Amino acid sequence: MGHPSSDPQVTSEAKTADESEYDPSLRFFDIGVWRIILEKTPGSSIQTMRGIFRDAPTIFRLLKDFYHLGPGLFMLMVFSKVWQSLEALILLELSSRLLGTIEHGIRTGHPDVNGIFRALAVRLFCVVLAAILKKLSERGEMVLEGRSELYFENWILQHKLRQGVTPGQEERSGVTAKVAWDTLKNLFSVGGHVLEIAGGLSFLFRLSTSNSEGPIFAALCLTKPILTILFTPGLWDTPHVMTHINEDWKRVKNLRSLGTKSYREEVISGDLVGYLLTELRGLMDKLKHTALDYPAQIWEAEQSVIISIIKSFAEDLPMVYYATNAAFYPGRLSVTSIATLQQASAGLRSSFGYIRYLAERFKSSISNTKRLYALEALKPNVKDGELAYPLPEQEKQKGMSFELKDVSFTYPATQTKEPALKNISCTIKAGQLVVIVGANGSGKSTIIKLLNRLFDVTSGSILVDGHDISSYRLSDFRRAAATLTQEHHIFPISVKENIGMGYPKEVGNESLIETAAKESGAWEVIEKFKNGLKTELRPYNWAFGAHVSEADETPLAKELKKLTKTTEVSGGEKQRLIAARTFMRFESRKISFVTVDEPSSAMDPEAEYALFSNLRKRREGKTMIFVTHRFGHLTQHADLILCMKDGAIVESGTHEDLMTNEGEYSKLYNIQARAFQMPTGSS
């Protein structure tokens, strides 16, 4: 496959128009709703062989990892695969001996009773042994697969978290532990089939030396596999990129997604169901003659019927040959050798047919495994330093001091042209309470992220107590910082652990947890839960009813409903629970820097006021930075207000200074104040 010009759906006009979009070494063709992009000169077999050698270290490492997960289980799996590959041939050999002895007995009229029973006993022994081995290896495989899932998932998590907050390519493309297991299975399948083919060929070769018809017969057996290699659509084994090009199909996908949980409420309350269904019906009409299947499938379906007939005929060639032989030269082939050759050739044909597919599957799984192991090489997105925190002189200091010098920052992999921060310079003294205000998108949260070392600056520098922020050990720095933002979540574990994890050493200390929950306003929420602190919000909860529908009223259906029930909280309640973790963090007594970024957007004014007041009460020994749009009650306590606009600090000072300035800050402040001063009835 891979002949774009022969595809009826590609017009030459469309091709020239679009080809400039791609690298000159690439070509493309459209099929069904797809566009397939591939290299103009596909890799040669030599390149493929080189690829296999290149993959050798990954294969070796994978085998080593699995061996260490369970040496006994691994060896059992290897032995079982070798046996499985040769089992059919061994049994065939035994059957052929048995049939030969029987046939000889029939011809001569003197059956070799001992010989027949000996052959039968050996065959039965092998069958029983094979069944025992199969059961043992199935159980062993299950255990090894479980261990692989546990080991590789932990390994992946560790390396992804080490990388930092920017998800890497691997995360986006979803590398999971299953990749390793699949590769091992595929490797064993390919190895097993190679062994099977080698065994099958040597079997035929041996028969051919004892039988003059053998070589011709062996050659006929190979006709079908050779034709398959020559005429099978090559898309399966050609590196290619696929994308949907059909706008109608893309729209179907987009519109269908509106039925999912995230959009459902808006679609129903906005009375959009009718619109949605009408649109989808229209699209169905437009697409009714378009193939939606996987491209290789479409290609195969479009293949010439002659090729299919030739391929099917090739399959029957060995049978035609020995049937003709039997008709014209009845003495040449014995019934036993016909049956044996027939079975051996059928086995060989199916192994040949399958090996290509297996090799492809293996190639793709080994490339996934390479991506998995590549996680190890991922560098953290922020630089780790060597300086300990706190240094002896910092022990006595109350809070961290910051100096931002000409800081600019652009988010990695962003599509926007403008940097998020532009040439920012300012000084924050140790122990100060700072409030950052400004319009949406002005860069407030970005500053908080840089100060928390979630990203490194693009240019300029940030000094913490006189040393560059990147020179500190990340783990030390993080231990001294507490953050609370609108992006924080409730973890899918108990409420107690959710709060306790603020200070992992005291994760089981219920009295500290209760105090923290009271300070954040979460205690009254927890008191409402039937299971109190033990309540789990959105835990991992999997229950499935086979042939049981939740709509039924049966005891099983009720049980299923009970199992899938979750505890729900409101947005504001959720924020109170999350904030409790920060108060718990204060208990470590090591916190010298606190950032609070809009954690109360869903809280009622009273809860928000209480949260900010309680946070302020804990400011002793800490530098605290708040980001908030509703800043009225905070800025009056602030030692420093930074007012931002379009990624720059446009004003800084105290509330009084900035009100006197009558600039951006006083404008924002007055808008908020005016809302409360409006006389009744005015709009």
Contact (CB, 8 A) for 533 and 526: yes
Tokens for 428, please give them.
């924050």
- Shortest separation between residue 411's beta carbon and ligand ATP, angstroms: 3
- Shortest separation between residue 405's beta carbon and ligand ATP, angstroms: 19
Q: Are strands 623-627 and 433-438 parallel, antiparallel or unpaired?
A: parallel
Q: Which amino acid is at 13?
A: E
CA 381/CA 162 separation, integer angstroms: 9
CA 198/CA 528 separation, integer angstroms: 70
- Shortest separation between residue 599's beta carbon and ligand ATP, angstroms: 12
- Shortest separation between residue 650's beta carbon and ligand ATP, angstroms: 12
- Shortest separation between residue 620's beta carbon and ligand ATP, angstroms: 27
DSSP 479: H
Contact (CB, 8 A) for 317 and 220: yes
Cα–Cα distances in Å, from 353 out to 192, 311, 347, 611?
14, 12, 10, 69
State which residue, 101 or 410, has the beta carbon closest to ligand ATP: 410
State the alpha helices, DSSP H only, in 521-654. Answer: 523-526, 555-563, 571-586, 605-617, 632-635
State which residue, 186 or 600, has the beta carbon closest to ligand ATP: 600
- Shortest separation between residue 642's beta carbon and ligand ATP, angstroms: 11
Q: Tell me the CB-side half-sphere exposure of residue 402, using CA atoms within 13 A.
A: 30
State which residue, 12 or 440, has the beta carbon closest to ligand ATP: 440
- Shortest separation between residue 668's beta carbon and ligand ATP, angstroms: 12
Distance of CA 111 to the CA centre of its chain: 65
Which residues lie near ligand ATP (CB under 6 A)? Answer: 411, 414, 416, 420, 438, 440-446
- Shortest separation between residue 293's beta carbon and ligand ATP, angstroms: 37
CA 622/CA 275 separation, integer angstroms: 56
Tokens for 523, please give them.
């205690």
- Shortest separation between residue 611's beta carbon and ligand ATP, angstroms: 18
Q: With CA atoms as reference, report the closest residue to 232 among 1, 2, 8.
A: 1
Q: Give the relative orientation of helices 335-374 and 214-231 as an angle to the nearest 10 degrees.
A: 40
DSSP string, 12-44: HHHHHHHHTTS-TTEEEEEETTEEEEEESSPPP
- Shortest separation between residue 436's beta carbon and ligand ATP, angstroms: 8
State which residue, 516 or 624, has the beta carbon closest to ligand ATP: 624
Q: With CA atoms as reference, report the closest residue to 183 among 316, 7, 365.
A: 365
- Side by side, the strands of the sheet bearing 34-39 are 26-31, 34-39, 240-244
Q: With CA atoms as reference, report the closest residue to 144 among 61, 238, 54, 75.
A: 75
- Shortest separation between residue 485's beta carbon and ligand ATP, angstroms: 10
Q: Which residues, 6+ apart, have CB-to-CB distance to 497 below 8 Å?
A: 491, 507
CA 209/CA 214 separation, integer angstroms: 7
Place of tokens 């695969």: 81
- Shortest separation between residue 585's beta carbon and ligand ATP, angstroms: 22
Distance of CA 531 to the CA centre of its chain: 34
State which residue, 155 or 411, has the beta carbon closest to ligand ATP: 411
Q: Which residues, 6+ apart, have CB-to-CB distance to 360 below 8 Å?
A: 236, 237
State which residue, 299 or 409, has the beta carbon closest to ligand ATP: 409
Q: Tell me the CB-side half-sphere exposure of residue 26, using CA atoms within 13 A.
A: 16
State which residue, 324 or 414, has the beta carbon closest to ligand ATP: 414
State which residue, 111 or 412, has the beta carbon closest to ligand ATP: 412
State which residue, 85 or 652, has the beta carbon closest to ligand ATP: 652
Contact (CB, 8 A) for 495 and 534: yes
State which residue, 364 or 486, has the beta carbon closest to ligand ATP: 486
- Shortest separation between residue 643's beta carbon and ligand ATP, angstroms: 11
State which residue, 165 or 556, has the beta carbon closest to ligand ATP: 165
- Shortest separation between residue 455's beta carbon and ligand ATP, angstroms: 9
CA 571/CA 603 separation, integer angstroms: 7
DSSP string, 613-638: HHHHHT-TT-EEEEE-S--HHHHTT-
Q: With CA atoms as reference, report the closest residue to 73 among 168, 181, 175.
A: 181
Considering Cα of 104, then 105, then 111, then 117, what sign does the dihedral take? positive
What is residue 88's three-state secondary structure? helix
State which residue, 9 or 163, has the beta carbon closest to ligand ATP: 163
State which residue, 314 or 643, has the beta carbon closest to ligand ATP: 643
State which residue, 487 or 657, has the beta carbon closest to ligand ATP: 487
State which residue, 5 or 416, has the beta carbon closest to ligand ATP: 416
- Shortest separation between residue 472's beta carbon and ligand ATP, angstroms: 23
Tokens for 461, please give them.
């520098």
